[in-house]
Amino acid sequence: MIETIQTVPYTDQKMGTAGLRRKTQTAMQPHYLENFIQSIFNTIPNLAEKSFLIGGDGRYFNKTAIQKIIKIAAGNHVKKLYIGQNGLVSTPAGSHIILKNKLDGGFILTASHNPGGQKEDFGIKYATKTGGQCQPSESQAIYEQTLAIGEYKISDHPDIDLSHIGRTQCEETQIEIIDPITDYLNLMQQIFDFPKLKSLLTSNFRFVFDGMNGVTGPYAKKLFEEILGAPAGTVIRATPLEDFGGVHPDPNLTYAKSLVDLMYGNDAPDFAAANDGDGDRNMILGQNFFVCPSDSLAILTDNYKLIPAYRNGIFGVAKSAATSMAVKRVADALNIGYYEVPTGWKYFIHLMDSNRITICGEESFGTGASHIREKDGIWATLFWLSIIAETRKSVKEIALEHWKKYGRSYYLRNDFENLPQDVADKLMTDLQNKLPSLIGQTFGSFTVSDAYPFVYNDPVDNSSTQNGLIIHFRDGSRIVYRLSGTGTNGATLRSYIERYVTMDLLENPEDMLKDLCRISRQISEITLRTGKERPDIVT
């Protein structure tokens, strides 16, 4: 039976660039999740003709939330739901499922790289029929519904068994429990040369993939160990856990420290990669060597012809404004299209759909391509393994050859976390007002050549978006400031420090950038305004 439940609005349900992220206890409040899902359905016409995907990264509250979404969908007479077995679907695989089956959208239950558990974070990424994040106009329409909602419709049907692949029904809504892994791995096989990869992984080449107790562990076990023949144990932390085993599932130098320690130890494997909780982010490591995500994007782009799916050419490449300029130098040399967009994968979607780009990436450990409409951690790992298989060179050798060819952008991201929102907002407003007066000023050996708010004019829909502040120096160095929308505890101010050199290619980044880091704090007055003398996280 379908019930209509009276409710009152929650006013905090505006989505950020990565969907709705809240503390789990917030999401578990009475009617909170129901209000949000009903608000999404309120913006979609003809639901009786629509089909959607549901799945997530396995974090705490996902199983309960999935059952609620099923029943609300049935209450709204949705035609059909595709649901990942056991409620699991990685974000990249979810995008592929939506595109392959021509679905009208999907609900991916994840807070991405944020920690999980009853006292940690919960999230929902609402994807449209593009297979990617909804556009600002769509998220605004959903938010307006959350402010006006007075009721939601829900079925009282018993919970659906998600453990077995097959078909069932909830009211008039068709339910299909699907294998969330096989179709995605078949897609990877269409892009990469699996026999060549198998030859590498069954040789004396040593490889470790860290699933960080997130959703891609089962994908990686089947792919690397079963299909490509890597030894058992190649994939570590491979079981999705509701609290990620106490691990913060963010593949960076801070939160993947155990993998970093392994790769910088005396008996390090040849190559390692890690994925985040929902599988869209990646970290790449060689023996005693970390690949900066900005460099990874540039190196992948420069080697696209080594990948079977791209040998006939690519349309172009795009990066977020905060990502280093390394990939622009590659695009210029290859004479391919190049775009710079705000942070947020949705800005890449228009460029993909209009055949302007094939490959894209962000400094925040996200790279991907137009095979789906999300970043893709396993794809990036396979791309790096393909380069190694073709060249038979180490990760360090590949990176060093790239820098010798193009020069190196030494790069660091400084995260100042848990700032009071009003303090962070005022800091950015005052800094923006200060930008014109910085032009021509000299700070040590660095002279400001330009300073401006980054404004992106979308070439497809002509929309305009401001995202961050950029300071250029005459030697090609840059500082970028922006507030992040991915946390749940206050605001995070990020400063991105970049220095371009053509010599001294193997120096310590923190040594090379210490003066620019100091200048970035001086210009922003971050210590004066927040009391923080150093960043909480340096990447």
Look-up of token digits 């556009």: 135
Q: Is 112 a catalytic residue?
A: yes
Question: Is the CB of residue 351 less than 8 Å from the CB of residue 341?
Answer: yes
Task: At 225, list the tokens.
Answer: 């160990």
The answer to whether the Cα torsion of 175, 181, 182, 184 is positive or negative is positive
Round to whole Å and give the CA distance between 306 and 319: 21
Percentage helix, strand, coil, to 5, in the chain?
35, 30, 35
* Cβ count near 534 (within 10 Å): 11
State how far the Cα of 340 lies from the Cα of 443, in Å rounded to an integer.
27
169 Cβ neighbours under 8 A, 6+ residues apart: 175
Cα(357)–Cα(339) distance, rounded to whole angstroms?
8
Catalytic residue among 112, 139, 370, 409: 112
CA distance 376 to 300: 13
Task: Specify the pairing of strand 366-369 against strand 408-419.
Answer: unpaired
Tell me the pairing of strands 337-341 and 20-23.
Answer: unpaired
Q: Quickly list H helices, 205-270.
A: 216-220, 257-263
Q: Where are the alpha helices (DSSP H) in 48-90?
A: 62-75
Q: Give me the phi and psi of 2, to 5 degrees please.
A: -95, 130
Kindly state the DSSP code that residue 396 receives in the 8-state scheme: H
Give the residue numbers marked as catalytic.
112
